[in-house]
Chains A and B, each alone.
Chain A
Amino acid sequence: MQDFMTEMSTLSEQPISLCFHCHKCTAGCPVVAEMEYGPDRILRMVQLGERERLLQSRDIWLCAACETCGTRCPNEIDIAKVMDALRMEALRSGIAPAEPDAAKFHKLFLFVVQTLGRSHEASLLIAYKLWTMNLLADMDSGMKLFLKGKVPLLPKTIKGRQQVKRIFVKSAEAMAKGQPSPTPAQEAK
């Protein structure tokens, strides 16, 4: 069994052990004001193996993947990749996201693409409002967008959407078998 830092370093392909906590990442992070720890303490917690505390943290769901931290890191650690690895690890371990609405939005986005082949803001936003039961927030602004013609009411679909659906089904089957990345050889068996 590998230690947590090695696991996350492999999953993110980043040299997490190199971080010497210069704070440049945290100083430039646009969402750090909303975070509990901020990027450099997150890296420290990975180094110390504080798995549960990290995977339950809202910080990993707040990262907007703007890559400011990775661009400025003197050790060339792409911290956004570490954040993505932590999100994946949380989902795989069945740990409920500390920002549940964020996870709901991600799932709905995939559902809309699976159904239509393309994203469609009106369908996505209505479904999101229903699921989070946050029906009235943004209603005013949503109507304005609609009236300005920014959000067309009816979605466009594509001819290839049956193929897109098939790809989703194949991916779900592969995931269920515990093979996130099946090889053609495995399939042939």
Chain B
Amino acid sequence: MAIPYFPGCTLSTKANGYDRSGRAVAQALGLEFQELDEWQCCGATFPLATDNAMALIAPTRLLRQAQEAGGQVTTLCAVCFHVLRRTQNFLQGHPDALERINWFTEEPYLGNVRVTHFLELLRDQLTWENLRAKVAQPLKGLRVAPYYGCLLLRPQSEICLDDPDDPHILHDCLAALGCEVITFPYQSECCGSYLAVNKPEVPQQLAQDILASAQRHGAQAIVTACPLCQYNLDYPQQSVSGWALKPLPVLYFTQLMAVALGLPGEVWGMEEHIVDPLPLFAPYGATVA
């Protein structure tokens, strides 16, 4: 049975390669995605102050669509996942807010949709052993550093995906692909998020620290589940001079999965990256035809 899938704005524009590789990987593993009809933006931030429930209208409208699509929804974007899961949690504890929001949207949401990140489906539904069994091209010896960022992990009481101080879900996924997985101290530091728009010097400094740390620990690539992290780490590498760094490719976990599962090059979605990741895969005989 196809799984209701919410791509979100960024995956349908800037992070198209994440979407493309994710869909192909899901299909190859028998977890095929069915995109929600006529979805709109999730709002991109979870409103934190209590009487700002109006900002929950957008994600609630999506949960309503997921309710119609079978009661669950999965995402790849860490931002959308964060917003949808926290909204779902909030509405379960605040039926009065749900009633008000339903008045705005004119379509009743009942409050029972299960929001998942694709990584959770891999861990809990497919399992890492089954993933390992499907790997056609083990990426033996490829040294990758998982970078979790913020939104996939925190706050733990609401997100409940993994331990925010010692996360391992990306580690486990990459280990199943045969990679040599590197833990580095910046793995769950913030990338600077949307300060990229009006204070670009902040994420640039943070990116430098994160990339340098990963490189010191021997990483050949950084792997993330968040399009904003990917942008903030990859993009400054083209223009910032004076960094004592070699270029470090920043990949989505689904892209490494696509390579390891032996899927064709056109679904890897790596042509948009600033630092070209393709040379990493040449030793495995995996190239884009």
Contact = CB atoms under 8 A, between A and B. Distances in A.
Interface of A: 10-13, 30-31, 33-34, 62, 64-68, 70-71, 78, 80-81, 83-85, 87-88, 99, 101-102, 105, 109, 113, 117-121, 128, 132, 138, 140-141, 144-145, 148-152, 156, 158-161, 163-164, 167, 170-171, 174-175, 180-184, 187
Given A85-B48, A109-B44, A118-B9, A148 B272 contact: yes
A188 to B, nearest CB: 10
B58 A171 contact: no
A181 B49 contact: no
A164 B272 contact: no
Given A119-B41, A160-B40, A70 B13 contact: no
Contact of B239 (A12, A70, A141): A141
B210 to A, nearest CB: 10
B12 A156 contact: yes
B50 A10 contact: yes
A2 to B, nearest CB: 14
Contacts of B149: 66
Contacts of A67: 150, 154-155
A113 B198 contact: no
25 contacts: A11-B49, A12-B49, A65-B48, A66-B150, A78-B155, A84-B47, A118-B40, A121-B10, A121-B13, A128-B197, A141-B239, A148-B274, A150-B16, A163-B105, A163-B106, A164-B61, A167-B105, A171-B54, A171-B57, A175-B54, A181-B53, A181-B97, A181-B100, A183-B99, A184-B100
B9 A119 contact: yes
B137 interface: no
Given A66-B150, A180-B54, 20 more contacts: A10-B50, A30-B206, A31-B190, A31-B195, A62-B202, A64-B190, A66-B193, A80-B48, A84-B52, A88-B52, A99-B198, A121-B14, A138-B200, A148-B271, A160-B38, A161-B40, A163-B105, A167-B57, A171-B54, A171-B57
A54 B206 CA distance: 26
B246 interface: no
B40 A117 contact: yes
Interface in B146-164: 149-150, 154-156, 164
A141 B240 CA distance: 11
A37 B198 CA distance: 20
B192 interface: yes
Contacts of A152: 13
Contacts of A85: 48-49
Interface string B28-55: 0000000000111101111111111110
A36 B104 CA distance: 39
Nearest to A134: B198
B68 interface: no
Most-contacted residue by chain B among A109, A118, A141, A180 (CB, 10 A): A118
A70 B238 CA distance: 34
A102 to B, nearest CB: 5
B52 A81 contact: no
Interface string B58-71: 10010000000000
A30 to B, nearest CB: 4
A150 B100 contact: no
A151 B14 contact: yes
A171 B238 contact: no
Q: List the 4 closest A-B pairs by CB distance, nearest first.
A: A66-B190, A84-B48, A67-B154, A119-B9
A160 B61 CA distance: 11
Interface in B77-92: none
Contact of B103 (A31, A144, A160, A184): A184
B103 A141 contact: no
A78 B48 contact: yes
Contacts of B41: 113, 117-119
A89 to B, nearest CB: 9
A126 B54 CA distance: 27
